[in-house]
Amino acid sequence: MKDKLIAGLDIGTTKICVLIARIKQGEDFEILGVGTAPSQGLTKGVITDIKKTSSMIKAAVRKAEARAGLKIKRIWVSIAGGHIQGTNSQGFIKIEKEDKRITSKEVEKALEETSHIILPSDKEIIHILPQEFVINGQNEVKDPIGITGTTLGARAHVITASSNCRQDIENSVESLRYKCEGITLQCLASSMATLSPDEEDLGVALLDIGGGTTDLAVFLKKGMRFTYVLGVGGNQITNDIAVGFHTTKVKAEEMKIGYGAALPGYFKKEEGIEVEKVAERGVYRIKEKDLLGVIQPRVEEMFELVDKELKKSGYKDLITAGIVLTGGSSLLRGIKEKAEEVLGLPTRIGYTNIKDPQELANPIYATSVGLILYGIKRRKELASKAKFGVRVKKWLKDFF
Ligand SMILES: Nc1ncnc2c1ncn2[C@@H]1O[C@H](COP(=O)(O)OP(=O)(O)OP(=O)(O)O)[C@@H](O)[C@H]1O
Ligand SMILES: [Mg+2]
């Protein structure tokens, strides 16, 4: 791997975050620069005004470059939104050569077979995430290379996205003369930065609660099994506060972050807090029960929707390691306890293991940190000819 520099760009509905890192050894890296900017021109994770989004990306990249003291050329970028869909698919090939030992070539072929899903013309595949392989129709293995068999089956979680949305992301980056090194699903990136191999094996649901969307991904036996994007996030809570108390969104956000909670017991101001009404004179006081009365039902509703989707997916009873919360809204006081109450599963907040700078441990940066980890992994895979041959590159050439 010649290029030791790697960069990630998380385009969220509320913030844009760029990380620049230097790869040290293996998957080890050091952060050289961080740049953030408020997001503009995005609705529920999807670009609706490319000019605005581009200018905020520019602001974030330039900040990260200034901190790192260098310029980058290419960058790994996140994708999310309601157009994302995940399907479990199977592929199957016969090992026809005389020597029946399975090599990376047969693995590629079997994985390629999983890509034959019904795909509307405006959709495309962005990830094929291997789950397991089946040799001779019965032996289930994680890594079939070197094993002898007459048939090889592959199971994979295939993620599709709207071609237009993917193109808009690329355009917003490339109009700034940066190359989009690859596109990565937000919750896949977040999972890489926060989940342990044991959790992914036992069964876990990652819930990235951002500003505009809540992204759900289920992992079991070390593979992604289910994905779902909910068009509700923390901004909805802010909106509810603004509407409920006739105040501005800026004030509502301050109230949420300063005093908001998903459960009683966190509001430390006996005397209540002052709220200014929009376009009206004077202020009025609100108490814990008032703010809770707005936040709690919305959070409960979000978790009820997640619960419904988890049950529908058939994985609810299989995620023994429970729930991991990431994204900015996972910082809401009492949200972990509320998730446990509604979903009935053990829950933890997904901090990353970045120590320098310490702020990147915050679950709000899970996607950005995950983009660096994902980028390092993909570069390695691509560099290793044994693992990825010409055919794989052909059908994923736009992304990797
Ligand atoms: N301390 C906090 N308490 C409660 N909510 C918070 C806190 N800090 C941030 N948030 C909320 O987190 C949300 C932003 O999270 P995040 O940065 O993960 O979103 P995003 O990545 O920009 O959006 P998305 O992933 O949905 O496109 C906002 O709604 C914000 O109000
Ligand atoms: Mg996000």
For residue range 294-338, list pLDDT tens digits in order: 999 999 999 999 999 999 999 999 999 999 999 999 999 999 999
CA 383 / ligand 2 centre spacing (Å): 29
CA 127 / ligand 1 centre spacing (Å): 26
Per the prediction, the chain carries an average pLDDT of: 93
Write out the residue limits of the CATH 3.30.420.40 domain(s) in the chain. 5-82+164-194+353-383
In whole angstroms, how far apart are CA 369 and each of 19, 230, 279? 7, 22, 42
Our answer on whether the CB atom of 350 is closer than 6 Å to any ligand 1 atom is no
CA 309 / ligand 1 centre spacing (Å): 22
Q: Higher-confidence residue: 400 or 392?
A: 392
Rounded-to-integer distance, Cα 212 and Cα 81, Å: 9
Query: In the CATH hierarchy, which fold is given to the domain comprising 5-82+164-194+353-383?
Result: Nucleotidyltransferase; domain 5 (3.30.420)
- CATH 3.10.129.10 correct for 85-161: no
Closest residue (by CA) to atom 28 of ligand 1? Answer: 211
Residue 281 in this model has a pLDDT that exceeds 90:
no
Q: Higher-confidence residue: 26 or 327?
A: 327
Our answer on whether the CB atom of 257 is closer than 6 Å to any ligand 1 atom is yes
Write out the residue limits of the CATH 3.30.1490.110 domain(s) in the chain. 85-161
Q: What is the per-residue pLDDT across 41-89, written as a single tens digit (0 to 9) for each?
A: 999 999 999 999 999 999 999 999 999 999 999 999 999 999 999 999 9
% of the chain exceeding 90 in pLDDT: 84
CA 242 / ligand 2 centre spacing (Å): 22
Rounded-to-integer distance, Cα 127 and Cα 122, Å: 16
Rounded-to-integer distance, Cα 271 and Cα 286, Å: 9
Judged by its nearest atom, the ligand closest to the C-alpha of residue 81 is 1
Q: What is the per-residue pLDDT across 122-161, written as a single tens digit (0 to 9) for each?
A: 999 999 999 999 999 988 999 999 999 999 999 999 999 9
Q: Helices (DSSP H) in the chain: which residue ranges?
A: 50-68, 104-113, 163-174, 186-194, 197-202, 234-244, 249-259, 288-313, 335-343, 366-383, 390-395
Q: What's the pTM value of the predicted model, to 2 decimals? A: 0.94
Our answer on whether the CB atom of 298 is closer than 6 Å to any ligand 1 atom is no
Our answer on whether the CB atom of 238 is closer than 6 Å to any ligand 1 atom is yes
Q: Which residues contact 297 (CB under 8 A, 6 or more apart)?
A: none
Angle between helices 163-174 and 50-68 (to 10 degrees): 50
Given ligand 1 and candidates 238, 364, 369, which is best to mutate, with the most ligand atoms within 8 Å of its CB? 364
Q: What is the pLDDT at residue 384?
A: 72
Judged by its nearest atom, the ligand closest to the C-alpha of residue 36 is 1
Q: What is the per-residue pLDDT across 188-205, written as a single tens digit (0 to 9) for each?
A: 999 999 999 999 999 999
Our answer on whether the CB atom of 39 is closer than 6 Å to any ligand 1 atom is yes
Rounded-to-integer distance, Cα 114 and Cα 110, Å: 7
CA 16 / ligand 2 centre spacing (Å): 9
